[in-house]
Structures are given as structure tokens and as C-alpha cells.
Amino acid sequence: MVTPTLPAPTATRDGLAPRQSSQFADTWRALRRDPSGRAGMALLVFFLLLACLGPAASPQNPLTQDIAARLQPPSRAHWLGTDELGRDVTSRIAHGAHLSLGVGVISVLLAMVVGGMVGLVSGTQRGLVDRVLMRVMDTMMAFPTTLLAIAVVSLRGPGLMNTLLAIGVIRVPIFARLTRSTALSIRVIEYVAAAHAMGARAPRIMLRHILPNSISPLIVQATLGVGSAIVEAAGLGFLGLGQQPPYPEWGEMLGSSYVYLIRAPWAMFAPGVAIILAVLAFNLFGDALRDAIDPRIRRHA
């Protein structure tokens, strides 16, 4: 007979339930397995570095004009050629990154915070407040977004700040409706009733109980929304309504160089490709994030 020995301390976990992995870790694992998630993350890291380090790392001053060397094809001195004022296109792309990407990200964050608050209040308070807020959101949604942004910016006057505001404001209803619908489904679950019974007030219920549970669809929606926000911001820049010259913003660069389409297509291609890749990065990552967070959709996508 062998006397049973105490199991070694390291082995104790074996007998227990496996360690609960956090939602964050699960999502991260699913993202890394998904090829489009990997591609999206790689591109995002690249653009993040470009936005942060671009101005410091760019070879030349993006504003220095050299009329003698205008519309030069790509060369060793100017990797992506020069534009209509002889400015180095590479440096302008690098300097423009934080403007073009920043407007997209910040405007969506703005929409997410404002829309999230509207949706939370609407979904938990119900009644008259809900009806009024939702009618306002319906009216805003009745407009096609691009047009509304153009109208707002053309009235407020061109500029990056107005672009950011316009693009943020037109996105508020999307986030408001999303948060409201999750709030509506969560407020009927027992633990919210329990919190009510314990005397918790509305703001506490909203922030402690409902918000944390509606945050993941909001994050997915935001990630997917950044791509289209970048497209719209650059579109306004293209029309001359966004960032004003001489400061480089990709849309503005495209708008001022496309008239030289025949002589110097590279001046137009560089910002164009930069916009496409940046939008692709957010769309790839957003798609993968949605699939990772919501496994039900994963089957189909």
C-alpha cells in the first residue's frame, strides 16, 4: 500500500476549473488568429508610427517651396516626387498623417461619447425624454452624412476644426441608437432591478451597470466608423473645405494636385494611396474586431 502523498503545490490548479480568461484576452487571441485582423493591425501600427514620428522623421520641410523643381517625378532626393510648388511629397504625406488620421479618430470619439450619453439617457429614462431625443436623432439620420457635413462646413467656414465637428456631429445618431438599444435590453435583466431595489440612483445604474455592458458594440462601431470618417474628412479637404493650405492634409493634397493629373500623376497617387490604405486598415481591423467580439457572426464573415 502506498500512502497517498500530498500533491505538489504547483499541481493544485489541475484539479480546479481552468483559469477564467478575460474577454480582452479572448478577443486578442481571436484577432491574432484572423488574417484580416493581423493585416489590419500591422497597417494600423504603421500609420500610428507615421502619425507620431512622421513629422520628426520626414526628410524635408513639407512647406519649403522650390519652384524650379516643381512636379518632379520620384527620384532619390524626392522619393515620391514633388508637387505643384516643388514641395517634397514624401514629407507632406508624413506630416499630413496626424491631421488626416487624427480628424477621423477624434471625430468618431466625439460622436461615441456624445451619442453614448444620449443613448444611455434615452434608453434608461424612457418616457418623454426618450421620445424627444429619438425624434431629433431620426431627423439627423434622415440626412445623408456626406451632404450634411458639406453643408455645415460650407456655412461655418472651411477649416480642420469645423471638419472635425461636422463629421463628429453627423455620427452622433448612430452611437445614440446603438447604446439605446443595448441599454433597453440590459435594463430588464435582474441585476439592474436588484440595483434599483438596493436604492441605486439612475446615474449610478447607467454608469456602473448599463454602460460597461454596452461598451463592446460601441467600440466595434467606432472602429468601423473611423474609416468612413477619414474618407469624409479627406473628401472635405479635397473640396477645399478642410485643412487650409499650405499645411498638408491628404485630402487637400489630392485636391490641389489632381489638376496636374497628366503631367505629374505621382503627386496625386501618393495621398490617394495613403487614404486608401488608412481606411483599409481601420476596416480590416474593425471587421476582425467585430468577429472576435461576436462569435455568432464569426461563422459567416
x/- mask, another protein, residues 146-175, rule CB under 8 A, reads xxx-xxx-xxxx------------------
CB distance 97 to 51 below 8 Å: yes
- The C-alpha atoms of residue 294 and residue 114 are separated, in whole angstroms, by 24
Candidate list 211, 283, 289, 292; residue touching another protein; CB under 8 A:
283
Which residue, 210, 296, 249, 245, is CA-closest to 101?
249
Residue 35 CB, nearest approach to another protein (Å): 10
DSSP structural state of residue 22: P
Considering only 109, 117, 136, 200, the residue that binds another protein (CB under 8 A) is 136
Assign 82 to helix, strand or coil: strand
Give start and end residues of each alpha helix (H) in 126-200: 127-141, 145-156, 160-169, 172-186, 190-197
104 binds another protein per the rule CB under 8 A:
no
CB-based contact 154:241 (threshold 8 Å): yes
Indicate which single residue of 176, 210, 268, 289 sits in contact with another protein (rule: CB under 8 A): 268
Please report whether residue 101 would count as binding another protein according to CB under 8 A. no
Q: Say how far apart CA 90 and CA 270 lie, in whole Å.
A: 8
Nearer to another protein, 206 or 286 (CB): 286
Cell for 165? 465637428
What's the closest the beta carbon of residue 142 comes to another protein, in angstroms? 5
Q: Which span sits near another protein by CB under 8 A: 26-34, 51-59, 189-197, 230-238? A: 230-238
Residue of 140, 200, 215, 219 that binds another protein (CB under 8 A):
140
What is residue 58's DSSP assignment?
-
Which residues are paired to 256 by β-bridges? none
Q: Tell the smallest beta-carbon distance from residue 174 to another protein (Å).
A: 12
Cβ neighbours of residue 296 under 8 Å, at least 6 residues apart? none
Q: Is there binding between residue 97 and another protein (CB under 8 A)?
A: no
CA angle 109, 95, 88 (to 5 degrees): 150
- Work out which of 7, 261, 294, 295 binds another protein, going by CB under 8 A: 261
Residue number, 64 or 139, with CB nearest to another protein: 139
Of 272, 285, 291, 293, which lies in the binding site for another protein, with binding defined by CB under 8 A?
272
The contact set with another protein (CB under 8 A) reads 36, 135-136, 138-140, 142-148, 150-152, 154-157, 227, 231, 234-235, 238-241, 251, 254, 258, 261-262, 265, 268-269, 272-273, 275-276, 279-280, 283-284, 287, 300-301
